[in-house]
Chains A and B, each alone.
Chain A
C-alpha cells in the first residue's frame, strides 16, 4: 500500500510542478499583457502545436528532424561500436588510435557544424553527418570502458575452456559491457537531437531547428515555442525508448533507482 502511494506521489508531483509553471505563465501573460511576439500565452502555444500536428504544417519539419537524427544516430552508433570492439580486441590499434580519439573528443563538436556544411553541403546529409559525429563519442567511450571492464575470473574461465575470440566477444565481453553500452546509447540519443537542431539552425530549409529559427526571425514566437515543445517531446520519447530497450535487453542489471546516471556527459 505504501509503495503504491509512493509511486503515485512520484508520478503526480512533477505533473503538479508542470501545471503550476503553466498556470504562472498564463497568469503572468493575462496580467501584464506582453506583446505576443515577445511572450505568447501558453494556450496559444498549445493550440499552435495542436494545429501544427493535426493540421500537418509542422509534420514535414518534425519528420525531417526525426529522419536525419535517426539515420545519423544509427551510423554513429555502428561506427562507435565497431571501433570500440576493434580497439579492445587489438592492443596495437588501441595504443595508436585511442589517444587520437581522445584528442578529437576535446573538440566541441557543434562548433564543427559550419565545416560539415562546407564539406557536405545543403540538405539532409549535413545533419546526418553532424549527428553521426556527435553520437559517436559518448557511445565509443562508454563501450570502450565497458568492453575493457570484464570480470577477470570469467575471462580466465573462457580462456581455460579454449573459447574462440568471437565466442568470447559474443558471450562474455558484449554482455558484460551491455549496461554501460545502454548508458552511452541514451546519452547519444539526446545528443543526436542537439546535433540535428544545431545543423538545422545553420543550413536547413526544413526541420524543427529551421522552423524555430525561421519563425523567431519573423517574430512568430508562438510557432517557435510550439516547435520547441515538439522537440522536447521528441527528446523525451527517444530517451524513454532507449531506456526501455535497455531494461528489456539488459534485464539482469538493475540500475540504481532514483540516482541519475553520472556517466560523463562528454562535451558536445
Chain B
C-alpha cells in the first residue's frame, strides 16, 4: 500500500508545485505551460487523435527494429557463446562499439535508406542489438558447471546441452537485455525522426519546437514515456511468465 501511495503523493505534490509556480510567477506558456495546458494538449493529442498517426509510426518502426535487432543480438550471442574461438575475435569489437555513440550513424542511414520508416527501423535495430547481444553472451556462460559436466558425462549432444542447460540459464540474462532494448528502440526511433521524417513522435516534438508549442511538446514527451513504460512492463511480464523458475 505504502509503495503505491508514496509515489502518488510525490506526484501530486509535484503537480501542485508545478501548477502554482506557473500560476504565481505567471510563467510564459511558451517556456513552461501549466499542467492544465499539458492536460488539454494530451486530450487533443490522444483522445481527439492528432497524435495518433505519430504514435503509430513510432511504435511500428520501434517494434520492427526491436524484433530485428533482438533476433540478431540473441542469435549472435548464442552462436558466439557456443563457439569460443569466434567469440575472441568478435566480442571485444562489439564491446568497443558499445562505448561509441552508435546513434551518430543516423544521418547516414537517412542518406542510405531515405526518410521513410526503413531508416528508423534500422537505427532502432542497431541500438537494440548491443544490450541483447552482450546480455545473451554473458548468459551463455552463466550455467552451472556441475550441470554441464553431467550432460557431458552422459554424452549429451551439443544441441541438447544448449537447449536444456545453456538456454534456460541464459533466459534470465536475455530478458534483462530485452528490457533495456525495448526502451532504447523507442529512443533510436526518436533520434532518427529528429533528423528527417514525415511522421513520428520525434518529428512532432522537433517541429513543435519551431512553433514554440511547448504544451503539445510536453504531451508528446509524456506519451513517449508512457509508451516506454508500457513496453517495459510488457517485457517484464513476459519475463516473469516465461522464466518462471
Contact = CB atoms under 8 A, between A and B. Distances in A.
B228 A106 contact: yes
Contact of B99 (A190, A197, A259, A268): A190
Contacts of B31: 118-119
Interface stretch (A46-54, A144-152, A166-174, A224-232): A224-232
Contact of A231 (B89, B101, B205, B225): B101
A213 interface: yes
A175 interface: no
A198 B188 CA distance: 11
A236 interface: yes
A258 to B, nearest CB: 8
Contact of B224 (A10, A103, A108, A221): A108
Interface residues of A, number: 62
Mostly helix, strand, loop or mixed at chain A's interface?
helix
Nearest to B209: A114
A103 B107 contact: no
Nearest to A186: B99
Given A106-B228, A108-B183, A197 B221 contact: no
Interface stretch (A11-19, A55-63, A77-85, A155-163): A11-19
A86 interface: no
A17 B183 contact: no
Interface in B192-209: 194-195, 201-202, 205-206, 208-209
B103 A17 contact: no
B108 A111 contact: no
Contacts of B186: 108
A232 B112 CA distance: 20
Contacts of B138: 259-260, 262
B42 interface: no
A260 B134 contact: yes
Contact of A194 (B10, B103, B212, B221): B103
A113 interface: yes
B163 interface: no
B87 to A, nearest CB: 9
Given A194-B103, A262-B176, A9 B88 contact: yes
Given A9-B88, A113-B194, A118-B212, A193 B228 contact: no
A199 B32 CA distance: 20
Contacts of A117: 209
Nearest to A239: B99
Interface in A114-166: 114-115, 117-119
Interface string A247-268: 0000000000001101011111
Contacts, number: 168
Contacts of A38: 111-112
A106 B209 contact: no
B98 interface: yes
Given A103-B10, A117-B209, A198-B191, 6 more contacts: A111-B190, A112-B221, A114-B208, A115-B217, A118-B31, A193-B101
28 contacts: A17-B90, A99-B6, A106-B228, A108-B183, A108-B228, A115-B217, A115-B218, A117-B209, A118-B31, A119-B31, A194-B101, A198-B191, A201-B107, A201-B194, A216-B107, A216-B110, A217-B107, A224-B107, A224-B111, A225-B108, A231-B104, A232-B100, A232-B104, A235-B101, A236-B96, A262-B135, A268-B184, A268-B187
A-B interface, 8 closest residue pairs, ranked by CB to CB distance from nearest: A99-B7, A114-B209, A216-B107, A267-B183, A232-B100, A235-B100, A14-B92, A239-B99
Interface of B: 6-7, 10-11, 13-14, 30-31, 88-90, 92-93, 95-101, 103-108, 110-112, 131, 134-135, 138, 141, 173, 176, 180, 183-184, 186-187, 190-191, 194-195, 201-202, 205-206, 208-209, 212, 214, 217-218, 220-221, 224-225, 228-229, 232
Interface of A: 9-10, 13-14, 16-18, 37-38, 95-97, 99-100, 102-103, 106-108, 110-115, 117-119, 190, 193-194, 197-198, 201-202, 208-209, 212-213, 216-217, 219, 221, 224-225, 227-228, 231-232, 235-236, 238-240, 259-260, 262, 264-268
